Amino acid sequence: MDASLSTIILAAGRGSRMKSDLPKVLHQILGIPMIELVTEKVSQVGSDDLTLVLGHGADQVQRALGETSIRSAIQDPQRGTADAVLAALLQQPPVHPDVLVVNGDLPDLDLELLTRFVADHRSGGAAFSVASARVADPQGMGRIVRNDRGDFVAIVEQQDADEDVGRIDEVNLGLYMLQVDTLLPLLEEMVSQDLSVADPAAESYLTRVVEVMVQKSLSVAAIPVAADRQFLQVNDRRGLARVSRVFQDRLQEQLLDAGVTIVDPLTTWIELGVEIGSDTVIHPQTVIRRGVQVGRHCEIGPFAHLRGGTVIEDDVKVGDFVEINRSHLECGVRAKHLAYLGDARVGSGANIGAGAVIANYDGTHKSSTVIGERAFIGSGSVIVAPGEIGSDAVVGAGAVVPPGKIVEPGTVVIGVPARKLNQNKTRS
């Protein structure tokens, strides 16, 4: 971490290419809003002074971030990336003279690249540096224009590029370093000039500051930061899907390397923060949501859906068309066919029969259910929460256990509503 660095994240834009009511930075990559991914990476390089520029959907973004030490600046209306940086510099004056500026739609930043960029900027000594890269498909990105001597003289946006410029494959990645003392007066002048035109939709681009600085003989640099690497930004839903796929492949590779079998990676979707123990097998068409924990030697799927807040201990089998929501399954539990378990704690060795439902929602409230060790929950039964099924108890096929009913350990209940069967335990 570089504590002598201030950071500005630009996240005020309308994101109109997303065609969404949701601000672009709240769209999720594998269960995590993009803005969380960006702030997390960026705080690793300059965590002690971070300002987020918000505008479109600012309230929504602030709510999503919750309690945070990140400061925010409001850009309203949103009139371009230079205007956004200026809003941050004026509303939240940076603590440090060096500022890293990051576009908020770059969820795939890596710490090493950021660190190297900051170091190269400092050793180069320019007042404004842009991170650049040669990419296979430069379409849609600002092109780095150099003169015959190779000096960086401008960034030309896609819509302003002629055929020659369009062929340039060195692009602006949307990461910048600036020295506040030099850039603040420059941006004030440039933005007021750009926005003084009659067109209310006019924008002031941060990228234009390069040619302004070159004219004034101020030092600018385009620093190539990486070769052989794909750079992913999210401007539209295609970008979101592409970035999500890259993250998914990477996450699955980590799990595979850690000893998890994923039978068909292409039809399996696992969100970020999921932990899975070795020798667990994930069958096709399985979805595992953010933060779920799965132990060792489990079998999950095909067609299983493990939702947030779920913990699955070792040797558990969750079969086809089983949905598990905010539940804890202890070792050796079986729920092999067509079941729904919501807000349940299921004791070790318990068996959840085909089509059983643990109904956690009464239309207003959600309640919990506890199922004891080795309990046997019959096919097609419904346990309406709050529920308590004792250890070694049996719920007969098709029974409905009403809310609040306690099924004593070792007893058998059957029927609708479920009542105690006057005989020793039988397994159906």
Q: How far from the centroid of its chain's Cα atoms is residue 147's Cα?
A: 40
Name the binder of 18 from Mg ion, ligand UD1, none, CB < 5-8 A by kind.
Answer: none
Q: Contact with Mg ion (CB under 5 A): which of 233, 252, 325, 411?
A: 233
Q: Is 92 in the site for ligand UD1 (CB under 6 A)?
A: no
Between 54 and 346, CB nearer to ligand UD1:
54
- Give the residue with the Cβ less far from ligand UD1, 114 or 206: 206
62 neighbors 19 (Cβ within 8 angstroms):
no
Q: Is 104 in the site for ligand UD1 (CB under 6 A)?
A: yes
Residue 337 a catalytic site member: yes
- Nearest 5°: the CA angle 40, 44, 50 is 70
Angle at 405 between CA 403 and CA 407, to 5 degrees: 135
Q: Which of 7, 39, 78, 360 binds ligand UD1 (CB under 6 A)?
A: 78
CA distance 224 to 130: 8
- Interaction of residue 158 with Mg ion, rule CB under 5 A: no
Residues paired with residue 100 on neighbouring β-strands, in sequence order = 7, 177
What is the footprint of Mg ion within residues 333-392 (CB under 5 A)? none
**Half-sphere exposure (Cβ direction) of 40: Cα atoms closer than 13 Å:** 10
Helices (H), 106-236: 111-124, 163-166, 180-194, 209-215
Q: Nearest residue to ligand UD1, using CB? A: 142
Q: Which of 99, 233, 236, 126 is nearest to 172 (CA)?
A: 233
Segment interacting with ligand UD1 (CB under 6 A) among 201-209, 313-321, 381-389, 420-428: 201-209
- If one asks whether residue 105 binds ligand UD1 (CB under 6 A), the answer comes out as yes
Of residues 235, 261, 368, 391, which one binds Mg ion by CB under 5 A?
235
Q: How far apart are CA 47 and CA 24, in angstroms?
A: 23
Q: Are the CB atoms for 396 and 381 separated by under 8 Å?
A: yes
Of 204 and 381, which CB lies nearer to ligand UD1 in the complex structure?
204
Considering the rule CB under 6 A, would residue 107 count as an interface residue with ligand UD1? no
**Choosing among ligand UD1, Mg ion, none, which partner's interface includes residue 10 (Cβ < 5 to 8 Å by kind)?**
ligand UD1
Tell me the C-alpha to C-alpha distance, in Å, between residue 316 and each of 41, 49, 296, 301, 304. 35, 46, 8, 11, 13
Beta bridge partners of 325: 342
Q: Among residues 65, 141, 270, 333, which is the contact residue for ligand UD1, using CB under 6 A?
A: 141
Nearest distance from C-beta of residue 327 to ligand UD1, angstroms: 37
75 binds ligand UD1 (CB under 6 A): yes
For residues 284 and 267, the answer to whether their CB atoms sit within 8 Å is yes
Is 9 or 329 the residue whose CB approaches Mg ion more closely?
Answer: 9
Phi/psi at 88 (5° precision):
-65, -45
| Minimum CB distance to ligand UD1 smaller for 231 or for 247 | 231
- Window contacting ligand UD1 (CB under 6 A); options: 11-19, 184-192, 373-381, 385-393: 11-19
Site for ligand UD1 (CB under 6 A): how many residues? Answer: 29
Helix (H) or strand (E) holding 359: strand 357-359
From the list 65, 2, 69, the residue with the least C-alpha distance to 34 is 65
Of these, 155, 346, 395, 407, which contacts ligand UD1 (CB under 6 A)? 155
Candidates 5, 26, 70, 84: give the one binding ligand UD1 (CB under 6 A): 84
Does residue 405 contact residue 385 with C-beta atoms inside 8 Å? no
Catalytic residue among 96, 283, 337, 365: 337
* Interaction residues for Mg ion, span 91-130 (CB under 5 A): 105
Residues that bind Mg ion (CB under 5 A): 105, 233, 235
Residues forming the site for ligand UD1 (CB under 6 A): 10-13, 53, 55, 75, 78-81, 83-84, 103-105, 141-142, 155, 157, 171-174, 205-207, 233, 235
Active site residues: 337
